[in-house]
Amino acid sequence: MQDCIFCQILQGRAEASIVYAEEKVTAFMDIQPVNLGHVLVIPNAHAAYLADLEQDTGAHLFRVAMEVSQAVRGAGVRCEGVNLFLADGEVAGQEVFHVHLHVFPRFKGDGFGLKFGPSYAVRPPRETLNKIAERIKAALRR
């Protein structure tokens, strides 16, 4: 992908601070870290969305993210916890359309957090959850 910045990084045509590189998956520092130590783990094969990602590669991506999580804890940056985050789709906050799993360290008072919309305050009744669960179950069987 000519225009994909992550593909350019993988091809050595764009700069990056690589922490891990192998056949299927690469990890490098996010240039705008939530906190110092923020890593992106990506598949080498271009996949814009989760739906385009081979499941085995996704599984491996997560293995690497687990290892990176522990490594970040041992890398001398402030790290008392870790978040993993993935945005699939523009409305979900995806900005680079090559799948990437964020791994970033957290510490007390770092100011990071989640903002919730108005619906978050309302706990849906069990029957609503059951109904949606049935629909997701049906979709999983398809």
Residues serving a catalytic function are 100
Among 5, 8, 20, 45, binds a copy of itself (CB under 8 A): 20
Q: Residue 71: which of 103, 99, 34, 100 has the closest Cα?
A: 103
Q: Is 24 an interacting residue with respect to a copy of itself (CB under 8 A)?
A: no
Q: Is 1 an interacting residue with respect to a copy of itself (CB under 8 A)?
A: no
Q: What are the φ/ψ torsions at residue 4 (nearest 5 degrees)?
A: -85, 120
With a CB cutoff of 8 Å and minimum separation 6, the contacts of 42 are: 6, 10, 25, 26, 27, 61, 98, 99, 100, 101
| 3-class secondary-structure state, position 138 | helix
Among 2, 12, 95, 113, binds a copy of itself (CB under 8 A): 113
Q: Is 23 an interacting residue with respect to a copy of itself (CB under 8 A)?
A: no
Q: Is 71 an interacting residue with respect to a copy of itself (CB under 8 A)?
A: yes
The contact pattern for a copy of itself, residues 32-61, with x = CB under 8 A and - = no contact, is: xxxxxx-x----------xx-x-x--xxxx
- Of 13 and 135, nearer to a copy of itself (C-beta) is 135
Q: What are the φ/ψ torsions at residue 60 (nearest 5 degrees)?
A: -70, -40
Among 11, 17, 22, 24, binds a copy of itself (CB under 8 A): 17
| Concatenated DSSP letters of 92-111 | GT--SSS--EEEEEE-TT--
Site residues for a copy of itself, 73-102, by CB under 8 A, read 73-77, 80-94, 101
**Cα–chain center distance at 66:** 12
Q: Is 14 an interacting residue with respect to a copy of itself (CB under 8 A)?
A: no
